[in-house]
Structure 1
Amino acid sequence: MTHVLIALAAVGGYLFGSIPFGLVLTRMAGLGDIRAIGSGNIGATNVLRTGRKDLAALTLILDAGKAGIAAAVFGLAFGTTEGLVAGGFAFAGHCFPVWLGFKGGKGVATFVGTMLVVFWPVGLTVIGTWLIMAAIFRISSLAALAAALAAPFAAFAWGRPDVAVMAGILTALIYWLHRANIQRLLKGEEPRIGGKKGKADAATDNPDTPET
């Protein structure tokens, strides 16, 4: 029965996480296909390029909330393991949605939502790390990468190895999805928050924040 519940949590979490709220909201607002503008991403950062800050904010909330909701529902209904599985697979669903040919967002907002629900001290650590790094270096992608990396270590420090393992897997995926950002960071070409776009960004229309 346990294996059945875990499989159910994985499938349910993935399908819920696959809902492309950015795409749905922009289409409902008559703005067309969000994948046809900017970076082609479905996250809040690209939604902001439409000029609709309200839709971008709502996308951010929904993308963060869907993994948290999946984790909470399965965690409360069946147990901690099922909640972790549902949250992790909701993250995977956001990044690799079946409805969009497995091309989704980069998972930053969804990662935060997952961590806040599965173990809130780690979630707060992630948010705090992002804020501190962003304030010091003014590079959002660097802040996001540092915040994600802090999650598994924080979970181990709080005595939650189960959360640490899940956070470690999700962090690895975030780093993979941000590999282009990492390359620009190494070259010193990643733009700063509020700054002008560099040559790399002007050519590719990448945002000065990591896609969500």
Structure 2
Amino acid sequence: MLVYDWLLIQKLIASIVVGYLLGSIPFAHMAARLKGIDIFTTGNFQAGTANVFWNISRRTGLIVFICDVAKGSVSVLIADLLGIPPYLLVIAGAAAVLGHWKSLFTGFKGGDGMASLLGVTLTITPMIAIPCILVGFATVIISWKSTFRSATGIASCFSLLMFLSFYIKTDTNIAIGLTLLATLVLFHNLIIKKRIAGHSPEDDLDNLDVTEEPATLESEA
């Protein structure tokens, strides 16, 4: 038992390190640099999908979104391959989100982590995550004019996830872990919003809710 526990701890540490390093890959920052733009002095000052989408190009923003989702997903898949139990996979996902927040490659600056959280959730529990995420997006769209549209979207998504986990053969510990991670992401975004309120007061709780499009965008042709 002690040998097994020690091996599990070693694997867990490895999955955390790998998750953090993957999460640290600054796709938004790299995409902006290719266009000669500093993402941290542009738009809402975050290395996230929406900032790239609105201030560089929509095509590039979509690519960044897919890459950021993949960071969370691949982190979980690697942890699973290492033999991490399902109820602990969220730890590897959390490491990826942390890497996105505090990237090792950008002076510990980053984005909100929403896309990486999406990848983590879809990979750990895809069967119930898909309808929950759709409900979350629908809630955001319905409450688009509300300042708290992101909060309501996250709340509806993960409340439904918790509810469904009790009625579908899913480990409730997984749902609890994902909900706790989502709560941390939400609070992190609240802190970011407070810090940049004096610069971009129209920003919502996360990058995905930027509603004000700049006057000019790079041609999508």
1:84 and 1:170, CA in 2 relative to 1: closer, same or farther beyond 3 A? closer
Does the CA-based 8 Å contact 1:6-1:81 persist in structure 2?
A: no
**For residues 92-107 of structure 1, what are the structure 2 equivalents within 5 Å?**
92-107=98-113
Does the CA-based 8 Å contact 2:72-2:93 persist in structure 1?
A: yes
Choose 1 or 2 for highest CA Rg.
Answer: 2
Structure 2, unaligned stretches of length 5 or more?
A: 1-6, 209-221
The yes-or-no answer on 1:4 pairing with 2:10 is yes
CA deviation map 1:27-82 (0-9, x unaligned): 12x33211111111000111123241111111111111111011112213423356
3-state secondary structure, aligned to 1:88: helix
1:210 is matched with which residue: 206, 212, 216? 206
CA deviation map 1:188-207 (0-9, x unaligned): xxxxxxxxxxxx98952644
- TM-score relative to the length of structure 1: 0.78
CA distance in 1, matches of 2:139, 2:198: 24
Which residue does 1:194 correspond to in 2? Answer: none
CA distance in 2, matches of 1:32, 1:135: 30
**For residues 14-163 of structure 1, what are the structure 2 equivalents within 5 Å?**
14-28=20-34, 30-79=35-84, 80-81=86-87, 83-139=89-145, 142-149=148-155, 150-151=157-158, 154-155=161-162, 156-157=165-166, 158=168, 159-163=170-174
Structure 1, unaligned stretches of length 5 or more?
A: 184-199
1:209 and 1:9, CA in 2 relative to 1: closer, same or farther beyond 3 A? same
- TM-score relative to the length of structure 2: 0.76
| Residue identity in the other structure for 2:70 | G
| Residue identity in the other structure for 1:78 | G
- The percent of aligned pairs where both chains have the same amino acid is 21
The yes-or-no answer on 1:178 pairing with 2:183 is no
